[in-house]
Structure 1
Amino acid sequence: MEPLSVDGKFFRSGGRRCDVRAVTYGPFPGGWPADFTADFDRIVGTGFNALRLYEMPDRRLLDAALEHGLRVFGGLRWPQAVDFLKDDQVLSAARVSLAESLRNAEGHPALAGVYVANEVPADLVRWMGPVQVRRELEHLIQLGKEIRPDLLWCYGNYPSTEYLEPENADFTAFNVYLEDEVAFRSYLRRLHHIAGDRPVVISEFGLDSRRNGTAKQAGILAWAIRIAREEGMAGMTVYAWSDRWWNAGMEVPDWDFGLIDREGIEKPALAAVRDAWGKGSKAADKTFSVIVCTRNGASRIAACLAALEKQTLPAHEIIVVDDGSTDGTTDLVATRFPKVLLLTLEPGGLSAARNAGAEAATGEILAFTDDDCEADEGWLAGLAGAFDKGWDAAGGPNLPPPPQTDAEAIVAAAPGAPSHVMLDDAEAEHLPGCNISVLRTAYFDIGGFDPQFTTAGDDVDFCWRLRDKGYRLGFAPAAFVWHHRRPSLRAFLRQQIGYGKAEALLIAKHPQRFTAAGNAKWDGFIYSGGPVRAVEGSIIYFGRMGQAGYQGVTDRMQPLRPLDPRFDDFLSRERLHLLEWLQPRVRAWFRCQHWMLSNNGAKVPGLPSPDTELSIWSEEGKTRDEFLQQLLAEGWKAGGGTDAWDVEKNGTRLLLATERGDGIGKRTLIRVWGDARLFSLGRS
């Protein structure tokens, strides 16, 4: 069994793309079965190729999984539903447990990855501080990577803590329970933006057949698997294998999420899942003309064209427009790629070259990429799926390939890279020209690219004119290209100067789209490749009293890509900080001749230290929600959706969070700003 590795928005193993089809397994009352053979035979027969556990596997389970060709994603067990920041022993024990379990499984090929935690409760995250909790999760991931760098590492997140994505996770994993097809599809599109450059795995999805019936469970699991594939998920995890479930130190007798019941009898969902895994994707019927413009690209163009010839959906034609090269690009293309249509022009600039390529194209869709890009094998297929949804233009992410030098790592993490701007989770306001496609009818209706933009700015102008004509741009998150950034810091700054000059042309042509200070007035959010996560001062929507089911950050500029850990040293960080300072100023100077500061939006100041902290123990298992209802009945007023406290009365504010452990009893923590004598809830 070859190791599993990240390949852009997907996984790869043994040189091939690998779709993770997982089912959660255990924990069971009484522990693991004496023999895994019967279960694993049926799991493989259903079409699964992976298991997700909620504890770290022993070698007996791993040996059985390997024999059946099943990859295993382990789960680190530790008290995640308590205030684990107040007592360092909790995290210390978690770190020891992680190290011991990895040593016990050392070198086992069946272990593919580890979830360092699963659904830290949203009220406790708010209590401890989102940034502080995220950093502790990152510390666990970092420890795991130091011990087993060959494994994949993540956190099992869920919609109530969208903002908790660890910066150093290898993929984004979300537990999602949505019983409506439209809502489920919509949320998967959102997850791509939360993940940034990373693959997205649905780490739990299921339905309780006791309350909903076995037929509904089967139907929902079938369409969920289909939609996960259509929306570019790198993996899908069905919850759960069996109705037998052990949680919080007790058997749970009244939830039936399994594909088999407590006696091991198959439910209709098992056959539905088997059929869903077996169904292939719909064949695309779109014809793409791919246009690559180049000038002195002899060192880059071969890799670009080789990737285009390996598309799972072959291009109708590939057109290379040579814009006056003097380095032998024309001869290289003609000799090594005889099937490519080659146009040679006198130097006229990028937009003119793109227009020449479009004039020669015969496909119904014109797809543009650059000579320093290598399209993923599913690029055109992903774009075709976007046009099936009715968009007039579409594009996807452009990802920096793994850096080979410290300069490449620094440039990949620096601001100023081509980025998509999203109006919502599906519709784009801007798509970079290195990954954009458009219906030929729409292209010629707006007159193509404006030739005055010779090196940059052409894609911004093009997208704005498309939207002004009523055309709509869709985002295809799985249709990505590997986009090689500038190889040195000097080359990067030259690029930013060019961007600034192009923006000066944009200001002259579209003055209404810029502020008086020269900043573009985007209606949407700029996504820069990093996972969306809380940082110091982030505005987080918690909902009324922190009870929103979907909670996330609202910063308009999303985080940048992190510095590659292989090059994350003091010197690289200092050079990156220098670029972060220089980039907006250099670009602004050549845009409008004055130095400007970057602005990532408003920040929320932190609350002062509380005056009092209390706790309440409830043998009956009362939680914060019940106490909050009691306080509301006593005249307390709920805070707003972005407030870091729950209720207020006469200037006193309270924040509540409930710790959960084994058994029924629960402890609720109370933080008080003001007069603690204003309330009485059975304090301790």
Structure 2
Amino acid sequence: MSVIRCSVVIPTYNAAHLIGEQLGALAAQVGAPDFEVVVADNGSTDDLAAAVGLWTERLDVRIVDASRGRGVSVARNVGIGHATSDRILICDADDRVAPGWIAAMMCGLDDHPLVSGPIETTLLSGRSATWVPIDQRTTGLFETWGGRTYGLGGNVGLRCEVWERVGGYDETYPAGAEEIDFAWRAHDLGYRFAYVEEALVHYRIRTDLKGVLRQQYNSGRGTTTLYSKFRPAEVSPKSVRRRIHHELLLLRRFPWLGSADDRRSWLTLMAFEAGKLVEARNLGCPAP
């Protein structure tokens, strides 16, 4: 019997129409050790079982019930809790890992407790890749205050001890910034992310404007939640006057003479700002 050396955790919600592409990419991995795939179902109402069942002859894959609460953090925590190895790789159901992703991530985990790699947005997203403020091909870890870095939640590798010591992903977050929260708490315990250039993930941005706006709105909400917990000393809250001035400047930047994609990009920025303000009001704290 082969020994499972790593567990790939895929948090999933109503992605039966997309997950086959990700499972196919995992089945085609090059140079990977023996691994299992844990699909953490966050309460899907589509036919996820049938979609995953198509791959059981090519992958050691199973579905676990992660419906005890709504959110990607719940699904990640449940999936990791069901893993049978101490090396955890996390990817998303609607993305596609590159052929050498597992091998590269495992190599990184030999020397580092936390790893992440680049993402590329154009292959699966097309023109909507230009609507969001994410580089179409990243070249390093994402940076935040105080030199703290993090990896995008859908391209993370970690040793199980890190997840256990950190206390898992915070399940109170809306769908955004929870991976930064995890990275910051890991940082406080002495864990640092390492960048693995070969661990590429093709990242899917929603191709409908409504979906992109919802995604950016939730990201704004998550950003406010993050800063309500970890507001760095060098970040002073904006006064009401400064906040109004900031929002008016954004409104004045509407690209009247720009292209349709320019206007969509502006709308995604405004959705992010709206999410920050709404969550700040909900939490009773200043917006970042």
- For residue 325 of structure 1, the aligned residue among 36, 44, 50 is 44
Q: Secondary structure at the match of 1:317?
A: strand
Partner of 2:246: none
C-alpha distance in 2 between matches for 1:588 and 1:515: 17
- AA of the residue aligned to 1:302: G
C-alpha distance in 1 between matches for 2:173 and 2:226: 9
C-alpha distance in 2 between matches for 1:367 and 1:379: 10
My pick for the range that moved more, 314-323 or 367-376, is 314-323
Offset of residue 315 of structure 1 = 4.5
Partner of 1:626: none
Partner of 1:607: none
Distance 1:336 1:286, change over 3 A: closer
Partner of 2:23: 305
8 Å CA contact 1:394, 1:437 repeated in 2: yes
8 Å CA contact 2:17, 2:51 repeated in 1: no
Partner of 1:343: 64
Distance 1:509 1:477, change over 3 A: same
Aligned residues: 248
Partner of 2:81: 359
Q: Which runs of 5+ in 1 are unaligned?
A: 1-284, 519-572, 595-684
- AA of the residue aligned to 2:168: G
Q: Secondary structure at the match of 1:296?
A: coil
Q: Secondary structure at the match of 2:206?
A: coil
- AA of the residue aligned to 2:274: W
Offset of residue 416 of structure 1 = 3.2
Q: Which has the higher contact order (CA 8 A, sep 6+)?
A: 2
Offset of residue 295 of structure 1 = 0.6
Q: Secondary structure at the match of 1:394?
A: strand
8 Å CA contact 1:307, 1:377 repeated in 2: yes
Offset of residue 335 of structure 1 = 4.5
C-alpha distance in 2 between matches for 1:511 and 1:402: 36
1:175-197 CA-partner distances (Å, limit 9, x unpaired): xxxxxxxxxxxxxxxxxxxxxxx
2:226 equivalent to 1:506: yes
Alignment of 1:121-520 (within 5 A): 287-312=5-30, 313-337=32-56, 339-346=60-67, 348=69, 349-388=71-110, 390-402=111-123, 408-417=125-134, 420-422=141-143, 429-512=149-232, 514-517=235-238
Partner of 1:592: 277
Alignment of 1:47-126 (within 5 A): none
Offset of residue 451 of structure 1 = 0.9
1:622-658 CA-partner distances (Å, limit 9, x unpaired): xxxxxxxxxxxxxxxxxxxxxxxxxxxxxxxxxxxxx
C-alpha distance in 2 between matches for 1:315 and 1:448: 25
8 Å CA contact 1:386, 1:394 repeated in 2: yes
C-alpha distance in 2 between matches for 1:353 and 1:297: 13
Q: TM (normalized to structure 1)? A: 0.34
Report sequence identity in percent.
26
- AA of the residue aligned to 1:415: V
C-alpha distance in 2 between matches for 1:484 and 1:415: 12
C-alpha distance in 2 between matches for 1:486 and 1:501: 18
2:261 equivalent to 1:583: no
Q: Secondary structure at the match of 2:259?
A: helix
Offset of residue 428 of structure 1 = 6.9
What's the Cα RMSD here?
A: 2.6
C-alpha distance in 1 between matches for 2:22 and 2:129: 19
Distance 1:482 1:371, change over 3 A: same
8 Å CA contact 2:130, 2:261 repeated in 1: yes
| Higher share in helix | 2
- AA of the residue aligned to 1:321: A
| Higher share in strand | 1
8 Å CA contact 1:319, 1:343 repeated in 2: yes
Q: TM (normalized to structure 2)? A: 0.78
C-alpha distance in 2 between matches for 1:585 and 1:356: 33
Offset of residue 454 of structure 1 = 4.5
8 Å CA contact 1:286, 1:384 repeated in 2: no
Offset of residue 459 of structure 1 = 0.6
8 Å CA contact 2:4, 2:36 repeated in 1: no
